[in-house]
Each structure stands twice: as structure tokens, then as C-alpha cells.
Structure 1
Amino acid sequence: MLVRLLYASRATTPLTCDTVDAILKQSRERNAALGITGLLCYSDDLFMQVLEGGRDEVCELYNTIVSDTRHAEVRILSYEEISERRFGGWTMGHVNIAKVNPGLLLKYAKKPVLNPFNCSGHASMALLNELIATASVLTRSA
């Protein structure tokens, strides 16, 4: 059974390029072995990530993230059983929200900033879908 989990968290330390690169490298290696695909969005001190894969693997990975000292205020925004993957092209794609057109963010939130804590899981997933449609997702660090 496949599931999709969308969560948000706050970074416990400032996000540098090196920090994000290390997270992406670790995620890509681990996720490939577990059959997990997904997308990581980040901005300032916020993470928003979607994970897709087998229920046990996704749940165990989420539990690992909750325990990871790089994350605080980890919140599930959406969890659902799925018949097919939407993010199957990436072991962990990523989007630096600072490089996204602010008008796109404003379409789904009160202000043109990433803040998944202040919008619905549905709106956050719609933003991710639009990021895919506008080719904003990267497969490696840039």
C-alpha cells in the first residue's frame, strides 16, 4: 500500500547551503534504499516535505524526522493512502522558496512567503503541484 505524507517543521539552526546539501544527500541515499520519493521545500527556518512510499517505510521515516534534532515543531499537514505517486520522479527533489515567484506563494497564502503552519494541508499540496507544473523542482543542489 502506498501513502503520501506532507509535514512541516522549523529548522533548529539557520539553514545554510551546506546544511541543505547534507540533508538532500542523506535523504536521496536513504530514500532510494527504502523506495521513498518526495519533495523538500525550504525557506528561512521552515521545511515542508512530502514523502511517498510504502506505509511502513514512510511512517518510520517520519518518526526519524520527528526525532531529528535539526527539526522542531514537526506537524503533519496531510496523510493519505494513494493509488499512484505524484512525486515519483525524485528520491528527493527540492525547491528553494526564495527562488520562487512570490505571486505563486500569494496564490495559496495570506502573504508571499512559505508558511505551511498558517494554511491548510490542501493548499500546501496545491502549491507543491504547481511547483511541479512550473518546473521549479530541482533534482540536485544548485
Structure 2
Amino acid sequence: ADLRNSYEKTKYSHACVARRLIEKNKIVQVGIRSLCQKEADFIKKKNLRLFYARDIVGREEWMEEAISRLSDKIYLSIDLDFFDPSLIPAVGTPEPGGLGWYETLKFLRLLTKEKKILGIDVVELSPAPQDIPSSFTAAKLIYKLIAYLTAI
């Protein structure tokens, strides 16, 4: 969930990104599959609503709820660990049970129609030189996002 207060003696680790964001911003996290006890305690203490993969994979009703929790103008950060590793295995933390391609595209299409996206980042791709499918899939995701954002 990247909600740790610190990791490996720094507050600015990849495992702390969401925690830093929550300090100043409203965020929505989708596709969470694992977290440590400290993260679970923080979620409970702050009464955060996370969209866990186990609750949303294969369903669509969560999409509107997730979008409705966002401001009108948003920054979109996509951690490729979000996907099931059968789709993109070359990530920092390949965790089974992630979301699939088509449900992700459906969510992103809805999101880009309903919210003004001010910026996007796509992170955590970590391919070996011979791992062309992971890089291709990440590039295609970015291509799709650009297409959704520029659609008339």
C-alpha cells in the first residue's frame, strides 16, 4: 500500500509514497493486495477507504465509488505493481491477484471522462533486457492513457 511512515531509514522510500501524499492530499488507492501491520494500523487509525484487489477484481461497481472520492482535478500515479504479474511480471513487487488489462482500461476510460487529469506518472517497471512484454505493456498503457486524454 506504500503507506509506511519510513522504510530502510528514510521517509522518502518507494514504500512511503502514499503516506507522504496523504499528509497533504486526498488520495484514492485501487488494487491493494498486501500491506504490513503498521500500514494496517495506520489505515484503521485514519479510517482510510482502500479498494483492495480481492474485493474488486472481476467487478465494476467499485469504479464509480472510487472516482466519486476524487477531486475534480487530479494527478494520476500508476504503480505497475497494480497489475497481476501474469500481465506485467517485471515490477518491484510482483504480487499475485492484481487487476487485469481490460478492467483497468475501463476504469481509466471512466476516470479520464469524469476528471481533469493534470499529470500522470507510471512507475515500478523493472524489466530484464529480454523482458519485452512487460515494457511493451507499460508503453501500451501510456499510449492508451494519452488516447483517452486527447479523445474528443
Higher Cα radius of gyration: 2
Q: What TM-score, normalized to structure 2?
A: 0.26
Q: What TM-score, normalized to structure 1?
A: 0.27
Higher strand share: 1
